[in-house]
Structure 1
Amino acid sequence: MFNTKWTSDLVVGIEDIDQCHKYVVEKINEAYDRFMTGPAPDGYIFDEILVYMAQCFDYEQMLMMDTCYPDFLAHRDEHEIFRQRMIDIRTPRTASASLSIDQLVILDHWVNHHIRECDAKLGAFVGDLSGGRCKTA
């Protein structure tokens, strides 16, 4: 079942990341609404979501390195596994095709899991930092 809605439990407390997440959730909802009201949306919306998510991943990873986030490698690996999965389901032969409901469900599930579990931990870590940056010797 589709369940991505922007709710307070998706807020991680890092403004740039929260804005990114909110945009992705809005785009997923837009695509879902199009499924419910008419023909399947064009694949470009899937590509737009993925490009935007890649930018969010890059920002998160820079922040994790900047703050010496202890779970950096595991978090980065989740991003890379997701990127590869999206490449696998978005092949050149399907690039111009309509977005499938299966692709949307994968996005929905991943966003819900990743934000609530991984990104929430990052938000808590950054929020707990007094100086906001790594301490160097």
Structure 2
Amino acid sequence: MCGGLMFNTKWTPDLETGIDDVDQCHRYIVRMINDAYDGFVVGINPESYILDEILVCMSQCFDYELMLMMETCYPNFLAHRDEHELFRQRMIDVHSRRNKEGNLTIDLLVILDHWVNRHIRECDAKLGAYVGELSAPEGMCRTA
């Protein structure tokens, strides 16, 4: 807890989607958020590039998930895609709210923390379960 704000991103088995590339990306994002938070705890503001690095990784993960959802005809495609786009817009707003030195603030870190926890557990878990059910290539909706 920092300044009354709850922080709870820890890599736990319930964050696993079963999609290796997505899980690797998520692990990296969680590690970056934790490293930034650890800096705040000891009084060191994370460098401004940390937020950019987290957001670039998230964007790459979003793009990969989008491709995967299209490739598998994921039934919740539109809702999942829209959630990604809303988050991208929120992060554009976050960039304009950085502190005067351009650094990541604890408030912004908490926004990332809560979003990552909720999105992975609620949305990405469903995508992982759906992809996991596609056991054979003929389960994919590709055209020859």
- TM-score of Structure 1 vs Structure 2, range by shorter chain: over 0.9
Q: TM-score, normalised by structure 2?
A: 0.89
Structure 1's 101 and 93: CA in aligned 2 closer, same or farther, altered over 3 A?
A: closer
Structure 1's 107 and 93: CA in aligned 2 closer, same or farther, altered over 3 A?
A: closer
Question: Does 2:45 correspond to 1:40?
Answer: yes
Rounded to whole Å, the distance in 2 between the matches of 1:52 and 1:95 is: 24
Give the AA of the match of 2:113.
D
Rounded to whole Å, the distance in 1 between the matches of 2:48 and 2:83 is: 24
Rounded to whole Å, the distance in 2 between the matches of 1:99 and 1:135 is: 42
CA RMSD in angstroms comes to 1.8
Question: Does 2:86 correspond to 1:86?
Answer: no
Q: CA deviation at 1:91?
A: 2.1
Rounded to whole Å, the distance in 1 between the matches of 2:133 and 2:41 is: 42
**Residue number in structure 2 paired with 1:73:** 78
Bigger Cα displacement from structure 2, 100-109 vs 31-40: 31-40
Give the AA of the match of 1:134.
C
Rounded to whole Å, the distance in 1 between the matches of 2:98 and 2:12 is: 36
User: Is contact 1:43–1:95 with CA below 8 Å preserved after alignment?
Assistant: no
Q: CA deviation at 1:24?
A: 0.2
User: Is contact 1:44–1:96 with CA below 8 Å preserved after alignment?
Assistant: no
SS at match of 1:54: helix
Question: Does 2:67 correspond to 1:57?
Answer: no
Rounded to whole Å, the distance in 1 between the matches of 2:73 and 2:100 is: 37
Q: Which residues of structure 1 form unaligned runs of 5+?
A: none
Q: CA deviation at 1:96?
A: 5.2
Q: Which residues of structure 2 form unaligned runs of 5+?
A: 1-5
Superposed counterparts of 1:22-41, under 5 Å: 22-41=27-46
**Residue number in structure 1 paired with 2:20:** 15
Rounded to whole Å, the distance in 2 between the matches of 1:92 and 1:111 is: 19
User: Is contact 2:94–2:108 with CA below 8 Å preserved after alignment?
Assistant: yes
Bigger Cα displacement from structure 2, 120-129 vs 89-98: 89-98
Deviations 1:17-68 (A, max 9, x none): 0000000000000000000112211221011000010000000000000000
Bigger Cα displacement from structure 2, 33-42 vs 18-27: 33-42
User: Is contact 2:32–2:54 with CA below 8 Å preserved after alignment?
Assistant: yes
SS at match of 1:90: helix
